[in-house]
Every structure is written in C-alpha cells, then in structure tokens.
Structure 1
Amino acid sequence: VTPDLNGGGAAIPQPHSNPASEVPSPAEMEPDRPIGYGAFGVVWSVTDPRDGRKVALKKMPNVFQNLVSCKRVFRELRMLCFFKHDNVLSALDILQPPQIDCFEEIYVITELMQSDLHKVIVSPQPLTTDHIKVFLYQILRGLKYLHSAGILHRDIKPGNLLVNSNCLLKICDFGLARVEEPDPSRHMTQEVVTQYYRAPEVLMGCQHYTSSIDVWSVGCIFAELLGRRILFQAQSPIQQLDLITDLLGTPPLSAMASACEGARAHILRGPHKPPSLSVLYMLSDGATHEAVHLLCRMLVFDPAKRISGSDALSHPYLDEGRLRYHTCMCKCCYSVPSGRVYTRDFEPPADRPFSHNYEQSMHSVWQGKELIHRFITEHQQGKRVPLCINPQSAAFKTFIR
C-alpha cells in the first residue's frame, strides 16, 4: 500500500495479481476524522481504499462484555444489513473480523452524510416551509418502512436524522431499536428515547408501548423545525410531563390506564389544566392551520388515539414535500426525454418483517461471539476485496480511544 497523496489519510491498494485459488488480501483503511460520538460507539470519516469514496466508519466497542450487550450489538448489526430504504441508513460493508479468539470490536461502513438535523436547526441557516415539508416527509417515509418491518427505533431525535446539503435525510443510530412486542403483558425497558422527545406513556412508566412512541418523537421534531427551539425542554422527567400537560391539558383517566400509580397520582393531585394548543400557531409563520392540525394529531397524550406514521403521510400538509422529494431527490423515480417516470408506491413498506429469532439461540457471550463472527464472515462472501483497519496509522490510536 502507498499513502494517499490527497491528504485523505487512507491507504490505496497497489495492483497485484493473485492466483485464482488465493483469497485476496484485505485492503487497509485509516480513520480520517471523527464525526460523531454516541452511547454505543464512535463514527469516523474514512476513505475506502478500493474506490477512493468517502464513507463513515462506526466502531462498536465492548461488544462481548455481557450477553445483553452482545444481543444489542448483533441486533443493530443485523438491522443495518437488513435495511434497504433511501431514508434509513444501512451498512455498506463490515470490516473483516480477526480470528474469533481476538474478536472484540466490530467496524461497520455506512454512507457518509454531511450533517444532522440538530445542527441544521440550531444554525442560522433559514428554514423555509418547503425545507420543513421535505424533511418531515422523509422522516415519516423512513419511519413507515421501519414500523412495517416491526421495528421500533426508540430514539428518534434531530441528532439521529442525518442530512446532506441537497436535503436528503436518513434515519440512523439503531442502538436502542428493537422488534415491536405484540404481547402487552411483556414488559419493555423504560430507558429509551432522549427525554425531550420521550412520549408521555414512557414518562409515566408504561410497561408496554408501541410504535406510537416514535410518532410522538417526530411530532416534537416537527414543532422544533417550525419554532427552531425544543418544544418540551425540561430538567427532569416529571417536569417534562408537566410541560406536556401544560400544552395538551390534563389527560382523561382512560389515557392513563397503563401508567404507573405514582405518575397517575402526580397528574391527578395537580390542578386541572385545559388544553392550550392555540400556542402552536405562534411557533412561526410556517405554523399554518394544516401544519398545526398534523402536529396535533401527532402530539396526542393517549397513544391509542395518536396518528400512525403511515396515516400521517396521507395528511395534505405533506403533499408538497412528497412532490418535491419524488420530482428531484429520490432514487425510485427517474427522468426520460418525455418526462418524469414515477414509482407506483411513493412510501413502500418493508418487503418482510425483521426477524429476531436468532436471539433465542444466544445463551452465553461465547455463543453470541460465534454467531456474530459467522454472520460477518458469511456477509462478506462473494463481495469485493475485504477491508480491515491499518493499525499502524497515527489516526488509529485516536480512533481506538
């Protein structure tokens, strides 16, 4: 290999001939610069030495500390390989793992996006109504795909919505995602969703929730796009709940049927609050009647009455966003000399549900390690020259920290 003369920090493989019986040597790549840190990993910009393309490299550390971590990482990895949708980030490649005895970390290659929606919202860049409509349309389009595959994201927030300068948007970070639990008697974790975007049923300790928690998060983001500020910005979960009831009013008992006793008592011992939804019109000039109507369908206290992501896509507010996206941004439609050829299904669902049956065979960390190692190895079969990290690069020392 030789250094990249363009300053990209990558290594470019030299042409060589291998006998047909030999397995090609993996191409080494070096981290370039950090672009994001999350609860379960770090993401760097790198250059793919096979074609010179800039991509994102996500490191998943501490995979095999315990069985819970092992299952979570394997679930995320399989999801990234399962996704096939323009508005959902997916795996382009996985770096070649070492021998299983030395296998401790996973490195996944994804498309490199330029920014995220949080950075756009807090920037001085103007956001027009067209921007908001096309962003919201893509969020809901990706969410419909996830929910149709039976997947709850459980951490929809502006920082997990990647965007490019052409306004293309992709949902990312599936570290908290899981398959929706159909059995209402099965308890689900409460430690989900960043607080500002957490649905009231989760704040109130509901033991079982559905995909409607993601729709609530999208409603909060929609309001944030309109007003350029966080809608419910509280210091604690209790205060978060108080801010929600300040806007929506005191919920009826039927909407709190699944809440824990303490949360229900907190709501009932306070003064009765009438709804004050008219303040949503004051978010910005873009808060038209259509916008506020859709927002009010998303920000419903009772999850059973909250609009679904699929139904939200049918709201007339999103008609212009759909038209703009499919006229000049999507890959599912294309232009010919006689005009534009549109796809038959503008918001396609997943072609099959995401299966998590493999988790039933994971009873130990070592079993998990074997399953993940085999999955990555099989995933790479028949593909291009495999990739591996160049451990001698200066940037790698920073990357592994």
Structure 2
Amino acid sequence: MEPDRPIGYGAFGVVWSVTDPRDGRKVALKKMPNVFQNLVSCKRVFRELRMLCFFKHDNVLSALDILQPPQIDCFEEIYVITELMQSDLHKVIVSPQPLTTDHIKVFLYQILRGLKYLHSAGILHRDIKPGNLLVNSNCLLKICDFGLARVEEPDPSRHMTQEVVTQYYRAPEVLMGCRHYGSAIDVWSVGCIFAELLGRRILFQAQSPIQQLDLITDLLGTPPLSALASACEGARAHILRGPHKPPSLSVLYMLSDGATHEAVHLLCRMLVFDPAKRISGGDALSHPYLDEGRLRYHTCMCRCCYSVAGGRVYTRDFEPAAERPFSHSYENSLLSVWQGKELIHRFITEHQQGKRVPLCINPQSAAFKTFIRAPSGRLRRRTRTGADVLQCHLMTDRQL
C-alpha cells in the first residue's frame, strides 16, 4: 500500500489518501501515532479503534480494515483504513456553491440520523463540527473523527473533562464548567451547524470562552437560575452580575431566505441553554422540517432502500438505533501501557482473521518518508484552497 497525499487531520491523527492494491480502490488511511506514550493515550486510541470497528451505519465513518501490525516490540503506531470521502461540510459552507433548502435539509437529516445511532450506542462524539462531517459530491454525509468520543457517563458524580468540542460549537454547560454532561452537548453543536448552513457563517464566533458565553446569552437571553445549577462559581457569577438580557431569537429569521418558521422552530429547540430542555437527536428527526430531507434521502440516496421494477422498496426503520450499546468495560482493567499494547495488538490480529490479504505500507513508495514523519498529537486541518471546493449535487430518483 502506497500513500498518495494528505487529505486532512483529526484530533489525534493524520489522514492520507491511498490506493488499496487488492482492488485498486481509493481509500483513506488514518495514522494514529504515539499510541503508547502513556496510559491515557493508550486507552483513548484503543477506544477510538474499537468504535471504528463497532460502527455499522451509513452516516457514521467506520473501519474497512486495519494494517497488519509489526512484532509487538516494534509496535508504536496504528493505521486504519476507512472509506475515502471527497470533502467535508466546512469546505462546502465556505465555498461559493449555492446551498438550497433541499441541500440543508438532506445534510441536517443525515447528521441527526448518524447522531441518533451514536447516542443509542451510548457514545458522545464531543467534537461535532462541519470539518468532522465528511461529504461526497452526491451529498452523502458521514460523521468522522472519534478521537474525543467517549461512552456516556450515567453517574452524575463522575467528573468529565471540559477540554472537548471546538469552541464555536461548544454547549453552554461545557463553557460554564459543568463537570458532568450528556448527549445534549452534541445536539447543541448540530444546532450551531444548522444555523451555519442557513447563514453561511459561524453563529457564535468568539475569541474566548467567556465571550462565547456572552454571544449565546445575547441570542437566548439571560438563563434562569435553574439552568445555572451545575455551572462553576465563576461562570455563574459572570452571568448574574451582568445586565438582564431578553431573548432575541427573531434575528434567526435573518440568517437567510431559508430560515422559515419551521427551520427557526427546530433551531430554537436545539439551541436551548438548559440541556435538560434541549431536544434530543432522535426527537429532532421527527420534526416536520426534516420530512422532505428524509424523503429525498430514502428515495434516491440511501443504501437501506432499493428500487425494483414495481417501484421503491423502503426500509422498515428509517433511522435505526445501534443493535447494542458500545462496551468500554475493558478500560478499567487496563493498568499499564504494556498491557494496553498487548491488548491492542491482539485486537488487531484477531480482527484480521478471516479477512482479505493483510496490508502493510510500502517503504519504497515516494511518499513514505513524508507519511511516517507526519506531525503527531493534536493537529490542525490543512488550509482550504480553491482545489478543495466540491460541488454537491442532489440526485433525483430518475438519476439512479
């Protein structure tokens, strides 16, 4: 397998376009470097790897294969093969391509469809943003980059990190230092993306978390005391000592001509300050605004429905949940980096059993040196250029 070119960067890895020599298919190869620096990194990477192998959903990126690992003493990096997508939603939003109401509805429907699947498996993505939503020119969309994902914590006394979600898409409970949060933080992020699709600009674009919180209260108004119960003392004091702000939700109608009453109603259900009152991903799918997006997706885009001579055969479940919860019970038994290395090595080896001919990277390829020296750790996405612009075209049933 020979690396071709870098196509993007995730929270903890670099992604390259490569050619699978077994069938000549172009695929994406994600390099996970520095896996065994410490126990935290080891657990995080193993969690992401298991998730990619667990996912079975058309709107969630999953692992097609894992490259054969070397002997365990030389085992330091992991390479995962996934489907190669042409672009991401950020590039589409900042491009000059017109986005129609149909585009927005079919994109939002797929985002929520994938999110319902993740949440039904007990998984919080924790970094939903346009750059982590991969798209093809036919408008098919997949949620990607699970470097910050984790299993939802049912015990409210268990503290969770606030170092999650890109700031512009960060829910107010995280901005206010809440030590425990749930799937509602992903729904908030989707609401911000929905507004960005409508207005072609970031809804809450601040220079700091405090300013981010101020922009949110400028729109939603000063939250009630009940919504501040889990906030840290500093955030609560910042909101309470400021002037009382009334809601100004009417400005959402000014995002674009596509900001209809139905669109703004759904947006306002997502952008609720109190996470307990925020709509869930599953309930959002039932909103009438998404009826046309559902119809278009299942009429001519999905793989769960199919056409026959007599017409279209539709699936019984348009938005399926996960068959079972994602298990992370193994994490509590991981007590050392070496133990983690053994477990991951065994997992990859067992995953490859019965698969096609195992793959490894060709060290003689022209791009090999660049690929193995790709930066590690938390990485920025590469700069978008005109060459990255992708025209997204919605198909009709006549084009199938």
Equivalent residue of 1:346, what SS? coil
Structure 2 residue aligned with 1:102 = 74
Q: Deviations over 1:301-346 (max 9, x none)?
A: 0000000000000000000000000000000000000000000000
Segments ≥4 residues shifted beyond 4 Å: none
Matching residue of 1:273: 245
CA contact (8 A) 2:4 2:18 kept: yes
Q: Report the Cα distance in structure 2 between the residues aligned to 1:341 and 1:30, rounded to whole angstroms.
A: 41
Asked if 1:169 corresponds to 2:141, the answer is yes
CA drift of 1:37 comes to 1.6
In structure 2, distance between residues paired with 1:189 and 1:378: 32
CA distance in 2, matches of 1:391, 1:217: 41
Deviations 1:220-263 (A, max 9, x none): 00000000000000000000000000000000000010000000
Structure 1, unaligned runs of 5 or more: 1-28
Work out the CA distance in 1 between the residues paired with 2:261 and 2:332: 49
What secondary structure does 1:107 align onto?
Answer: strand
SS state at 2:190 partner: helix
The CA deviation at 1:394 is: 2.1
1:83-138 deviations in whole A, cap 9, x for unaligned? Answer: 00000000000000000000000000000000000000000000000000000000
C-alpha separation in 2, matches of 1:293 and 1:38: 33
2:23 aligns with one of 51, 64, 67: 51
1:155-196: CA deviation from partner (whole Å, max 9, x where unpaired): 000000000000000000000000000000000000000000
CA RMSD of aligned residues (A): 0.4
**Structure 1 residues 343-385: Cα deviation after superposition (integer angstroms, max 9, x where no partner):** 0000000000000011122100000000000000000001100
Q: Give yes or no for contact 2:11–2:148 (8 Å, CA) kept in 1.
A: no
Displacement of 1:39: 2.9
Contact 2:85/2:136 (<8 A) preserved: yes
- Structure scoring higher RCO (CA < 8 A, sep ≥ 6) equals 2
Alpha-carbon distance between aligned partners in 1 of 2:234 and 2:227, rounded to the nearest angstrom: 15
CA contact (8 A) 2:11 2:145 kept: no
- Is this contact kept in 1: 2:58–2:142, CA < 8 A? yes
Structure 2 SS opposite 1:175? coil
Paired residue for 1:32?
Answer: 4
Deviation at 1:392, TM superposition (A): 2.0
Measured in 2, the distance between the counterparts of 1:393 and 1:227 equals 44
Report the Cα distance in structure 1 between the residues aligned to 2:82 and 2:11, rounded to whole angstroms: 18
Distance in 2 between the 1:247 and 1:145 partners?
Answer: 30
Answer whether contact 2:10 2:147 (CA < 8 A) is retained.
Answer: no
CA distance in 2, matches of 1:65, 1:394: 28
1:258 is aligned to 2:230:
yes
In structure 1, what is the Cα distance between the partners aligned to 2:58 and 2:112? 12
Offset of residue 38 of structure 1:
2.4
Partner of 1:139: 111
| Structure-1 residue corresponding to 2:274 | 302
Q: Provide Cα deviations, 1:261-313, integer angstroms capped at 9, x if missing partner.
A: 00000000000000000000000000000000000000000000000000000
Of residues 115, 126, 148, the one that matches 1:154 is 126
State the distance in 1 between where 2:366 and 2:20 align.
17
TM-score by length of 1: 0.93
Matched positions, count:
372
Q: Which runs of 5+ in 2 are unaligned?
A: 373-400
| 2:180 corresponds to | 208
1:2-401 superposed matches below 5 A: 29-400=1-372
Question: Cα distance, 1:48 vs. partner?
Answer: 0.1
CA distance in 1 between counterparts of 2:78 and 2:238 reads 44
| Cα distance in 2, alignment partners of residues 112 and 343 from structure 1 | 26
Q: TM-score, normalised by structure 2?
A: 0.93
How big is each residue's C-alpha offset from its partner over 1:62-88, in whole Å with a ceiling of 9 and x where there is no partner?
000000000000000000000000000
Query: Which deviates further from its counterpart, 246-255 or 385-394?
Result: 385-394
Q: CA deviation at 1:393?
A: 1.6
3-state SS of the aligned residue for 1:387? coil
Question: How much identity, in percent, do the aligned residues show?
Answer: 96
Shift of 1:391: 1.3
Match of 2:389 in 1: none
Q: Which has the larger radius of gyration?
A: 1
Q: Distance in 2 between matches of 1:38 and 1:312?
A: 27
